[in-house]
Amino acid sequence: MKYALLVLLLFLAFTLTAVAADEEEGLASWYGEPYHGRIAASGETYDMEELTAAHRTLPFGTTVRVNRLDNGASVVVRINDRGPIPEDRIIDLSRAAARKIGMIQPGIVPVTLQVLNADPGDFHIIYAVQVGAFRVRRNAERSLRTMVQQTTARIVFRAETQCWSVVVGEAKNRGEAERIADRLRGNPRLDTAFVVRVEFPDSTIAE
């Protein structure tokens, strides 16, 4: 009897831990202008009238239920951007998502996040080495043409800096990317190269 009770308690503890791992509690905010129409961190164009959100770590394409704690309202959003910038918040909703749970006026509300689907779909994560960053894409393309004569390079848009970055290599982990960076830094023109984590859908990468 005692053994059966112990097993039951362990099962319940495991179940509660598993549920808690898929939930997060904190403050939510929302963003609209002037970000509407800009490129999000996923490579998509941010549309504040779609049910999307920015999160610091969840894979792009993840669907999340946002439950507002003070009024019980909820909305399901898809993660397609990185943020919020203020450290005291856990998610940044689009204006459409904010409207669904009545938080346009207060701006910041307490919420819990429940991951519904953590499958990133066609999104991929790699580590690469950034060798240049440009506000204007055509300048990045000019740099890219120089780099591809020497090694594999591509352009990615990094929403956190609002720049087009030229990155070299494609590594599965940071250690492998650091070795690539060390080799590149041997070139005086690339001595400031550094490793970046890139998360993207195939369609957003320019070879």
Please name the fold of domain 2-117: Barwin-like endoglucanases (2.40.40)
Architecture field, domain 123-204:
2-Layer Sandwich (3.30)
With tokens 């779909």, the residue in question is 121
Task: Tell me if domain 2-117 and domain 123-204 are identical in fold.
Answer: no
Q: Tell me, what's the pLDDT at 200? A: 62
φ/ψ region of 203 (left if φ > 0, alpha if ψ in -120 to 50, else beta) reads alpha
Q: Tell me, what's the pLDDT at 55? A: 92
Domain boundaries, the chain: 2-117, 123-204
Q: What is the mean pLDDT of each run of 10 residues along the chain (207 residues)?
A: 44 38 86 89 86 89 93 94 88 96 96 82 75 87 76 74 83 89 89 83 43
